[in-house]
Structure 1
Amino acid sequence: MPALSDRPLAFVDLETTGSTASVDRITEIAIVTLVDGVSQSWSQLVNPQRHIPEFITRLTGISDAMVAAAPSFAEIAAEVCQRLDGCVFVAHNARFDYGFLKSELRRVGIDFRAAVLCTVKLSRRLYPQSARHNLDSVIERHGIVRRERHRALGDALAIHDFWRIVAASQPPAALAAALQEAAEKPSLPAWLDATDVDALPEGCGVYLFFGENGLPLYVGKSLHLRRRVLAHFAADHRAAREMALAQQVRRIETIACAGEVDALLCEARLVKELQPLHNRQLRRNRDCCSWRLIERSPGHWQPELVQARDLERGGQQALYGLYTSARQARTALTKLAGEHALCLSMLGLEGSPGKACFAQQLGRCRGACIGAESPVQHSLRLQQALAGWRLQSWPFASPALLAEGDLQHVVDHWCHLGSARDEAELAELLDHGTPAFDRDTYRILVKHAARLRALPAAVTA
């Protein structure tokens, strides 16, 4: 096979509706080929068949009106493949463009594979003294003609010009070493399509593993996606379950997230939607239950098990713990009773007051069941024991926002309505109403309660 520098090259840039290949779509594509020293440029607007967010339009200048009469990606897929055929796929941050294009082609039944060269990696390898290697910095550093930025053809031509400069100015040995490093792929199992790894981003997000026939296997999250995903395929697995998962994976998808909260919420939602085989803890918990204290007689407070669906969302002042089943709730309360010498009869877990409970017979109860301890004193100790389980009530009279990156997470009574980037998306979320209470969503959001800010009255009106 000829050296990378001697093969036909295709400099590619995409504009998209967002950063998530599994959800967003291409709005413009440009391919600049370089074959035997001759360059040829091609670009095409693409109808993504969905709304282009306002912030994307502000960045790229591409609006819904501009792409309304443009072909869909399915209509140009064959031409795209023809132009890329036999070429090394070259892009700036190639994981994004290659992964996005591969996903679009997969949707129309085409399994696209190519050798990939990332010019960000190439720039870092050849110019380590430079602090920045984004496309704007590369353009400025090398005096490249600045064309229309954040448009596909302008950016593809800038990458092409960078290559021309590098190929003309670098010693052959240094260029060959840099190309080998920039095109390097990590070691992966033979049964996994190695090209999927080129789409893995470095930052925060969620990853999805799929097996044969698209079967969902696992959904995970990480602040360092690429590192975490590759760790699944390390040779030193300590658990048989981890090894089994690694052997079943046939395809990987990732979703970039604005930060930790976004990743946690996305992971919890996808696990419930997809029901992956290897996710257990997050799969089923919408019908969760909790303990509520009720006064059975003057001074005698007893836990009562209540279902989340029967409660006002976030409005209860005395709820304790969240459980996936009544059995789990009773087991937890029984354990708490043993730790604090509480009476099982007074708690309603066995027998009835007036008869010694089993724990009292073993000397593990202070005798509230037989009158050795007053109901008031027992109730006080019960409330103290339950204090660490107490759920936080919703602190606002309306929905609230939690800012993270360019997103605003919209929250109402500990339920996540969705995430908005602008006022239009926010208004749309508020119109959809509040979803059912979810235990995992509550646990994620309550840890960040200090960051919540109430929506202005003008917005909720």
Structure 2
Amino acid sequence: MPPLLRAAPGGLAFVDIETNGGPAQLESITEIGIVQVDEDGVREWSTLVRPASGIPDYIQRLTGIDNDMVADAPRFAEIADEVFDRLDGRLFIAHNARFDHGHLRAAFRRAGLDIRPQVLCTVKLSRRLFPEHRHHGLDHLITRHGLVVSDRHRALGDATLLWQFWQKIHDRFAPGHIEQQVRELIGHPSLPPHLDAEQLAGLPDAPGVYLFYGERDGQASLPLYVGKSTRLRSRVLSHFAADHQSDRELSLSQQVRRIDWIETAGEIGALLKEAELIKQLQPTHNRLLRRNRDLCTWRLATDIVGDWRLELLHAVDLDFGRHDDLFGLFRSRREAINRLRALARDHALCPPLLGLEKHTAGARCFDFQLKRCRGACNGGEAPAAHGLRLIEALHGLRLESWSWTGPIGLREGATLHVVDGWRYLGSAREEGELADVLERGRPTFDMDIYKILVKAVKHLPVVPLPAPKAPA
């Protein structure tokens, strides 16, 4: 296998996509193929993608991908996380890379993700290495270098051709010469003028959290931004790429005076530490994970005559993990009520019986007159039937109850993430650290931590832990 580049410590990703011919602003991707190359070897991956519109006949003839083939394929948003993980931290290599990278980056943005890989175009690389040739299209490279075609105009087939081309040029040129050409083509991230490059000397390409600080009272102590990555160095350097896409990103890079980082055992540890630090430090450029003191949920209970009723409870008044009758997490009372109104409308539930409107007993509600209520308000529908439909409507919002009698540890590498009642107490590597974490007490319930932990318990080994001793 050709040597990896020092300019790409995270490895290489040879990428090709197929589209229905539409622009990047629309959901046009029909197939993605990726060949990952790193110290662990070579891995191939591909998937069909369902676009927002049909595939024209001429595209079907070119690629062999027709509308029937993508009818049951996932939308890009459904596979965005997996594609992100396969590309994140790697050198993105594609033929006419601006096309592939542009479509994928636009698709990631629609899915709420932002990826900033270093990008290498093999057309430009071929021109650098073989200036005597006029044409550098993929078909020309196939003929010129004797590349073996397996599935031309299919994403993985074309991505494999790029990997073959990469091996061919390493047979012909010294690795140092190729490294120099690649560095010149992908450029180097230019650090902000007030940031000392020495600060990055020890930054590892490992999982963890990074912290950007700006100037406050003459000191680099103002928290600007907290982020996480499975490859810290690559992610931090990507912030300082020359192609800032927004004034906010440019402003952040210009304000940075100091960078700190904390290594974690893996991705879950990074996610937990990121959420914890954002709420603790309140960085000026973080928005999504800021603390929310109005967190609330709907609780479903029965009254004295057995009718179902809903009550809105706030997180500060409730031990979330100990109940199995809670539905939805909402950042405000307004958000909770609006969601309940939407459920009432979609499932023909009676708004007065849900507590959304005042109502005279036995009278028809306004929604009944609009044929959006089945008459539970005036006896036209049995209360039990209305209650069952309410339970069905709420099913997708049901919160996970805590299944353990006490705290647990989620093992990630050599680290235990200590959790109790969906609250993150801390992480420990040694027995002494574990005892300290268990004695800290349980913090308030946090929605972002809850979402991380609900996924984590499905993937990480669970270790039951002893309950902390009560103070004497």
* Cα shift at 1:328: 1.8
Query: Alpha carbons of 1:313 and 1:345: their partners in 2 closer, same or farther (altered >3 Å)?
Result: closer
* Cα shift at 1:237: 2.9
3-state SS, counterpart of residue 314 of structure 1:
helix
Aligned residue among 240, 245, 252 for 2:259: 252
CA distance in 2, matches of 1:194, 1:355: 73
Aligned residue among 195, 199, 216 for 2:198: 195
Residue 433 of structure 2 is matched in structure 1 by 425
CA distance in 1, matches of 2:268, 2:212: 21
Query: Alpha carbons of 1:452 and 1:304: their partners in 2 closer, same or farther (altered >3 Å)?
Result: farther
Query: Alpha carbons of 1:245 and 1:456: their partners in 2 closer, same or farther (altered >3 Å)?
Result: closer
3-state SS, counterpart of residue 402 of structure 1:
strand
1:365 aligns with 2:373: yes
Residue 396 of structure 1 is matched in structure 2 by 404
- One-letter code of the match for 1:421? R
Aligned residue among 309, 315, 322 for 2:322: 315
Residue 281 of structure 2 is matched in structure 1 by 274
CA distance in 2, matches of 1:354, 1:297: 19
* Cα shift at 1:276: 0.8
Indicate if the aligned counterparts of 2:409 and 2:416 stay in contact, CA closer than 8 A.
yes
* Cα shift at 1:205: 0.9
Query: Alpha carbons of 1:315 and 1:294: their partners in 2 closer, same or farther (altered >3 Å)?
Result: same
Aligned residue among 284, 301, 308 for 1:294: 301
Indicate if the aligned counterparts of 1:222 and 1:228 stay in contact, CA closer than 8 A.
yes
Aligned runs of 1:300-339 on 2, under 5 Å? 300-339=307-346
- One-letter code of the match for 1:390? R
1:211 aligns with 2:214: yes
Aligned-pair identity in percent equals: 54
The CA deviation string for residues 301-356 of structure 1, in whole angstroms up to 9 with x for no partner, is 12101122222341112011112221221122122222222221111011225344
3-state SS, counterpart of residue 327 of structure 2:
strand
CA distance in 1, matches of 2:466, 2:264: 29
Query: Alpha carbons of 1:401 and 1:286: their partners in 2 closer, same or farther (altered >3 Å)?
Result: farther
1:380 aligns with 2:383: no
* Cα shift at 1:421: 0.9
CA distance in 2, matches of 1:261, 1:331: 32
CA distance in 2, matches of 1:452, 1:367: 49
Indicate if the aligned counterparts of 1:322 and 1:439 stay in contact, CA closer than 8 A.
yes
Indicate if the aligned counterparts of 2:213 and 2:258 stay in contact, CA closer than 8 A.
yes
- One-letter code of the match for 1:198? A
Aligned runs of 1:3-152 on 2, under 5 Å? none
CA distance in 1, matches of 2:447, 2:332: 12
Query: Alpha carbons of 1:365 and 1:229: their partners in 2 closer, same or farther (altered >3 Å)?
Result: farther
3-state SS, counterpart of residue 428 of structure 1:
helix
Aligned residue among 419, 429, 438 for 2:446: 438
Query: Alpha carbons of 1:363 and 1:416: their partners in 2 closer, same or farther (altered >3 Å)?
Result: same
CA distance in 2, matches of 1:359, 1:241: 45
Aligned runs of 1:213-228 on 2, under 5 Å? 213=216, 214-228=221-235
Indicate if the aligned counterparts of 1:303 and 1:348 stay in contact, CA closer than 8 A.
yes
1:453 aligns with 2:451: no
Residue 269 of structure 2 is matched in structure 1 by 262
CA distance in 2, matches of 1:314, 1:289: 14
3-state SS, counterpart of residue 419 of structure 1:
strand
CA distance in 1, matches of 2:275, 2:367: 39
Query: Alpha carbons of 1:387 and 1:305: their partners in 2 closer, same or farther (altered >3 Å)?
Result: same
CA distance in 1, matches of 2:227, 2:338: 29
3-state SS, counterpart of residue 190 of structure 1:
coil
Indicate if the aligned counterparts of 1:407 and 1:419 stay in contact, CA closer than 8 A.
yes
3-state SS, counterpart of residue 209 of structure 2:
strand
Query: Alpha carbons of 1:377 and 1:252: their partners in 2 closer, same or farther (altered >3 Å)?
Result: same
- One-letter code of the match for 2:215? E
**Cα RMSD (Å) of the superposition?**
2.8
Indicate if the aligned counterparts of 1:403 and 1:409 stay in contact, CA closer than 8 A.
yes
Gaps of 5+ in 2: 1-175
- One-letter code of the match for 2:384? V
Aligned residue among 324, 328, 346 for 2:353: 346
Query: Alpha carbons of 1:245 and 1:363: their partners in 2 closer, same or farther (altered >3 Å)?
Result: farther
Indicate if the aligned counterparts of 1:398 and 1:460 stay in contact, CA closer than 8 A.
no
Residue 186 of structure 1 is matched in structure 2 by 189
3-state SS, counterpart of residue 186 of structure 1:
coil
Indicate if the aligned counterparts of 1:396 and 1:454 stay in contact, CA closer than 8 A.
no
CA distance in 2, matches of 1:307, 1:332: 16
Residue 413 of structure 2 is matched in structure 1 by 405
Indicate if the aligned counterparts of 2:364 and 2:377 stay in contact, CA closer than 8 A.
yes
Structure number with bigger Rg: 1
CA distance in 2, matches of 1:459, 1:327: 38
- One-letter code of the match for 2:208? G
* Cα shift at 1:290: 1.0
CA distance in 2, matches of 1:242, 1:360: 51
CA distance in 2, matches of 1:387, 1:289: 17
